[in-house]
Amino acid sequence: MCGIVGYIGNRDGADIVLAGLKALEYRGYDSAGIALLDKKGTAHLFKQVGRVDGVEKLLLADDPGDAPAAIGHTRWATHGGPSVLNAHPHANSDESIFVVHNGIIENYAELKEWLIKEGAQFVSDTDTEVMAHLIDHYYKQSKSFEEAFTKALKEVRGAYAIVAMTTHEPGKLFAARLSSPMVIGVGKDECIVASDPSAILQHTKKVIYVQDNEMVIVEAGKCTITDLMHDKKVLRETETLDFDINQADLGDYPHFMLKEIYEAPQTIRLASLGRVNADTNTVKLGGLESVTTQLSHVDRIVIVACGTSYYAGLVGEYLLEEIAGIPVEVQLASEFKYRDEPFCRSTALLAISQSGETADTIAALKKVEDYGVLRLGIVNAVGSTIARMTDAGVYCHAGPEQAVASTKAFIAQVMVLTQIALNLAKEGHALYKPMLAEIEALPAKAEAVLKQADTIKAIAEKYKNYRDFLFIGRRYAYPVALEGALKLKEVSYIHAEGYAAGEMKHGPLAMIDENFPTFALAGDGPLLEKTISNMQEIRARKGKIVAVTTEGTKAVAQHADDAIYIPATLEQTEPILQAIVMQLFSYYVATAKGYNVDRPRNLAKSVTVE
């Protein structure tokens, strides 16, 4: 969601912070701002509703000169609507203290009431401004900014990544985190603080990940970490980011979403590289080797995730139950943490998150900290919070995903879940060898789907003006239908619902008429005839149908208005190819309607608050 970038060093911090904020634009935001301390220690503040470019224009017009210290922020509105006053950074009354913040301060209302009585003058509707005045209150008492910052942190409740800058100590940034990501890039005589590694990659790959309940004093080329829970200093070595910055470039594509859809074949390869070998009939997952013994005693898996990751988990439920023979249930992480349910040590909790920073999924993992259960993770972001919280896990290796609507991350997650199912099944299942061979064949089949982009684009143009859409599928295709409906909603703002095809008679048929088209996933599997029956029910009510079916399957097209063909594959690997079709369809509908597919309204890439 919101993005943070801070700089301290011997270069112009404004340039570095603004470039970092632009690198975080994919997360989604509605306003932006930057605060600078120039070489004389004088403060300058620039805020703007809209894009980072607007802040840059304000700064160029004012020309404050080089600033060795700077903090910036892209805001996604929570407390108070998008406005210049609500944009970060926030300051105390005399603008000697500046704060940027991701997360939510839950007790801000009571703190604000108290601070107003103490003489603080608030100008925004945000919870964040409380922090600036709170630090100021304690600084006036002690004249120690470190002490004031620490006391303020102990007063607030909620989730936060906070960076503060002050004219009292212009050579330092003060940072802290609790349940919201923060990383510090360490360079030669400079440091960059950010909420996401992509903001610092062009400057350094040496990073320090800040942990929960830690406060960091950041200076040029070094940082001092304090564990606030135990009031002691922490020594932590830098890590090297395994991240190719060139992957984050748009290249010749008009949008990141299209670029990332076209990366599907490579995504499949990278998710399987060094793990799947059909010649030796092996699936090797190094990230799970340390818990092999514990996995052998697992008799139940609970998958927790949100959004697209949740739908990937539903595909994983079918895979794990059919291939590994382990009972699985998939729960929305936002609901799981509030449920009271029995857990035993033979249960494993599997968290799925593209960013590894999803607040609800992190909370789900924290819920079972004392249960003694095995905690596993599937994440894309190396070194992320979930990657570090879990006992073991498997990385997706999908590379950066810039578009807000997830595409290749879904494909990578399903691939990893397929491999986990095969790994747990060993060679004891009839599908084991065929699936290993099919995984190696999938990249070429994904490329074949992408070659039909023009056909899919033409169909999308045909349906772009409908207000409603239904997506249906059976078995493995059911969660893919849910994901297809989500994609269309996310980028085109068309109302769409995903349904199990067998449920049509139990309500959804009431909606069907000539203005309510259906996207039917009708692969050549064991339930094809039943899916065709559902399509006939829709056609009988004048509903239009776009069908996704298997090459060579003739029975489907005669019951559809439009048909899209995918290469023949196993039912268990079909979701990958079906997903690419629906991603392209959603993309082309949205672009035909003139929408910004990379930055859908009201959405953010990484949901780091509840």
Q: Residue 528 has what pLDDT?
A: 87
- Provide the pLDDT for residue 26: 67
In a domain, 603, yes or no: no
Look at residue 155 and tell me whether its pLDDT is greater than 90.
yes
Element (H, E) at 343: none
Contact 204, 185 (CB under 8 A): yes
- Write the DSSP assignment of 478-517 as a string of letters: HHHHHHHHHHHHHHH--EEEEEEGGGGGGTGGGG-STTS-
In the chain, the percentage of residues whose pLDDT exceeds 70 is 97
pLDDT at 243: 61
How far apart CA 98 and CA 351 sit, in angstroms, is 36
12, 44: one domain: yes
pTM as predicted: 0.77
Catalytic residue among 22, 112, 408, 605: 605
Residue 605: active-site member? yes
Q: Contact at 8 Å (CB) between 476 and 572?
A: yes
Torsion angles phi and psi, residue 255, rounded to 5:
-145, 155
Read off the amino acid at residue 438: E
Least confident of 21-25, 246-250, 260-264, 502-506: 246-250
* pLDDT score, position 294: 92
Distance of CA 552 to the CA centre of its chain: 37
pLDDT at 343: 84
Q: How far apart are CA 517 and CA 531, in angstroms?
A: 16
| DSSP SS3 for 51 | coil
Q: What value does the mean pLDDT take over residues 71-76?
A: 91
CA-to-CA dists, residue 64 to 11, 14, 19, 56, 363, angstroms? 14, 10, 17, 12, 43
63 band by pLDDT with thresholds 50, 70 and 90: confident
Same domain, 109 and 201: yes
What is the model's pLDDT at position 609? 52
CA 331 to chain centre: 17
Among candidate residues 442, 473, 495, the one where a domain is terminated:
442
Choice between 245 and 600, residue whose per-residue pLDDT is larger: 600
323 and 221 in one domain? no
Please give the pLDDT value at position 610. Answer: 54
Mean pLDDT of the residues in the chain: 91
Residue 89, domain extent: 3-241
Residue 25: what pLDDT?
A: 79
| Among 420, 442, 464, residue at a domain's last position | 442
pLDDT at 336: 92
Q: Please determine, for residue 28, whether its predicted confidence score (pLDDT) is greater than 80.
A: no
Average pLDDT value for residue range 86-90 = 95
- Pseudo-torsion of CA 136, 140, 143, 145, nearest 10°? -10
State mean pLDDT over 445-458. Answer: 96
Confidence class of residue 459 from pLDDT cuts 50, 70 and 90? very high
Domain membership of residue 447 (yes or no) is no
Is pLDDT larger for residue 599 or for residue 254?
A: 254
Q: What is the pLDDT of residue 385?
A: 84
- Establish if 57 belongs to a structural domain: yes
Clarify whether residues 99 and 132 are in a common domain: yes
Mark whether 492 and 371 lie in a shared domain: no
Whether 435 and 484 map to the same domain: the answer is: no
Q: How does residue 352 score in pLDDT terms, banded at 50, 70 and 90? A: very high
In a domain, 604, yes or no: no
**Token output for 550:** 């298997």
Task: For residues 307 and 170, state if they share a domain.
Answer: no
Instruction: Tell me which amino acid residue 319 is.
Output: L
Catalytic annotation, pick one of 2, 191, 306, 396? 2
Q: Is 2 a catalytic residue?
A: yes
Residue 480 pLDDT: 97
Inside any domain, residue 474:
yes
Average pLDDT over residues 558-581: 95
List for the chain the helix, strand, coil content (%; round to 5): 40, 25, 35
CATH number of the domain that 89 lies in?
Answer: 3.60.20.10
- Quick check: helix, strand or coil at residue 200? coil
Residues 6+ apart with CB under 8 A from 364: 304, 331, 333, 336, 337, 349, 351
DSSP assignment, residue 322?
I
We report the CATH number of the domain holding residue 538 as 3.40.50.10490
Residue 151 has pLDDT above 80, yes or no: yes
Q: Give me the mean pLDDT over the 364-369 stretch.
A: 90
pLDDT category of residue 553 using cuts at 50, 70 and 90: confident
214 plus 156 within the same structural domain = yes
Would you say residue 497 has pLDDT above 90?
Answer: yes
Q: What is the pLDDT of residue 27?
A: 66
Backbone angles phi, psi at 338, to 5 degrees: -105, 5
Out of 412, 442, 472, pick the residue that ends a domain: 442
Q: What is the pLDDT of residue 483?
A: 97
Mean pLDDT, range 140-158, rounded to an integer: 94
Q: What is the pLDDT of residue 567?
A: 96
Pair 235, 254 in one domain: no
604 pLDDT band, cuts 50/70/90, is low
Q: What is the mean pLDDT of residues 122-131?
A: 94
The answer to whether position 258 is within a domain reads: yes
Number of domains in the chain: 3
For 49, 311, 478, 571, the CA distances from 52, given in Å and listed in that order, are 9, 33, 40, 45
Residue 306 has what pLDDT?
Answer: 93
CA-angle at 422, arms to 288 and 426, nearest 5°: 85
pLDDT grade for 341, boundaries at 50, 70 and 90: confident
Q: What average pLDDT does the segment 521-530 reach?
A: 89
pLDDT above 60: residue 599: yes
- pLDDT score for 487: 97
Burial of residue 246, with CB atoms counted within 10 A of its CB: 0-12 exposed, 13-18 middle, 19 or more buried: exposed
Whether 20 is in a domain gets the answer yes
How is residue 251 written in tokens? 């290249």
Same structural domain, 403 and 527? no
Both 350 and 216 in a single domain? no
On whether residue 552 sits in a domain, the answer given is yes
Whether residue 205 is found in the same domain as residue 255: no
Res. 373 pLDDT band, cuts 50 70 90: very high
Q: Kindly report, residue by residue over 220-268, the tens digit of the pLDDT.
A: 988 999 999 899 999 988 888 766 555 567 778 999 999 999 999 999 9
The pLDDT, as a whole number, for residue 382 is: 77
CA distance 34 to 357: 24
